[in-house]
Structure 1
Amino acid sequence: MKRAGILNRHLAGALAELGHGHGVLVCDAGMPIPDGPRVVDLAFRAGVPSFAEVLDGLLAELVVEGATAAKEVRDANPAAAALLEGEFPGLELVPHERLKELSAGARLIVRTGEARPYANVLLRCGVFF
């Protein structure tokens, strides 16, 4: 058994398969999930697990070279906007409809139980060297 890190076997396995340039969408419970990408659904109840908890766990295990979020997050969910802008100084903001289009090209989608709007981010994997 793993001692630390992500214990969910489906998520840990999916992360191990990621490579440079692959996209990982971390999303709230309301984000439409497109057909195609692998999905690991962690949602249990409204707000559990939270977007912030899941993002924190993923960032401890992934190398991220870029991130994209919906520009609507700034007005609709200032806490999520502050979190994202703090973690990703070069955060790209696009209209929510564009983020939904981009999510179809993600390699992995991790759905949280987050129940606040626009708590979504598309991560672009980097390399550790």
Structure 2
Amino acid sequence: MRRKGILNVKLSRAISEMGHDDIMLVTDAGFQMAHDERVIDLALVPGVPDLFTVLKAIRGEMWVEEFAMIADAKENNPYAWNGVSAIFPDAKAGTKPNEWFHGACYQNAKYIVRTGAWMPWGNVALVSGIPVQEWFANTGAPVPASWEERHRLNVEHGLDGVE
């Protein structure tokens, strides 16, 4: 039996299968979807598990390079926007239109994780990343200029190595 970390077998496996630039879509309870093999349904009752608990668990085991929320979330659900930003302070934060989440994001997501989050605009697209310093350490060269912003965010938030 695992001593710590994510105990849900499907979610643990999904994180292990994420590659650089893959998308994991974490949704609220009301997100419309087909329940296919990509869906990991964690919802139990309204609010359980909540969005932040699920995101914190994922954060502990997956490098997230950037995240996006529905554009309306920033203004209409600042609780969710601020909470997600606090969980992923070293990730690039962005917004996308609601249609993107239900269209291209949904179609291209490697996995979709349904939470019990009981709130509007509680959907987050996580883009899988890499540990920049460790990834480039074997090259014998400094981190390339194209990766400097990502590396700066890692270092600024104390995440320059594997936690």
What TM-score, normalized to structure 1? 0.91
**How far apart are residue 46 of structure 1 and its match?**
0.2
Query: Hey, what does 1:90 align to over in structure 2?
Result: 92
Query: Hey, what does 2:5 align to over in structure 1?
Result: 5
Q: Which has the higher contact order (CA 8 A, sep 6+)?
A: 1
Query: Hey, what does 1:62 align to over in structure 2?
Result: 62
Q: Does 1:109 align with 2:112?
A: yes
Aligned partner of residue 108 in structure 2, secondary structure: coil
Distance change (3 Å), C-alpha of 1:34 and 1:67 = farther
User: For structure 1, which runs of at least 5 residues remain unmatched after alignment?
Assistant: none
User: Which residue of 97, 101, 120 maps to 2:123?
Assistant: 120
Output one character per residue of 1:74-101: Cα deviation in whole Å (capped at 9) or x when no partner.
2332210111233256311111112222
Cα RMSD for the two superposed structures: 1.7
More helix per residue: 2
Q: Is the radius of gyration larger for structure 1 or structure 2?
A: 2
Q: For residue 96 of structure 2, what is the amino acid of its counterpart?
A: V
Q: For residue 118 of structure 1, what is the amino acid of its counterpart?
A: W
Q: Which moved more, 1:116-125 or 1:88-97?
A: 88-97
Aligned partner of residue 92 in structure 2, secondary structure: coil
User: For structure 2, which runs of at least 5 residues remain unmatched after alignment?
Assistant: 136-163
Aligned partner of residue 67 in structure 1, secondary structure: strand
Give, in whole Å, the separation in 2 of the partners of 1:55 and 1:111: 11
Q: Which runs of 4+ in 1 moved over 6 A?
A: none
Q: Which moved more, 1:60-69 or 1:95-104?
A: 95-104
Aligned partner of residue 15 in structure 1, secondary structure: helix
Query: Hey, what does 1:77 align to over in structure 2?
Result: 77
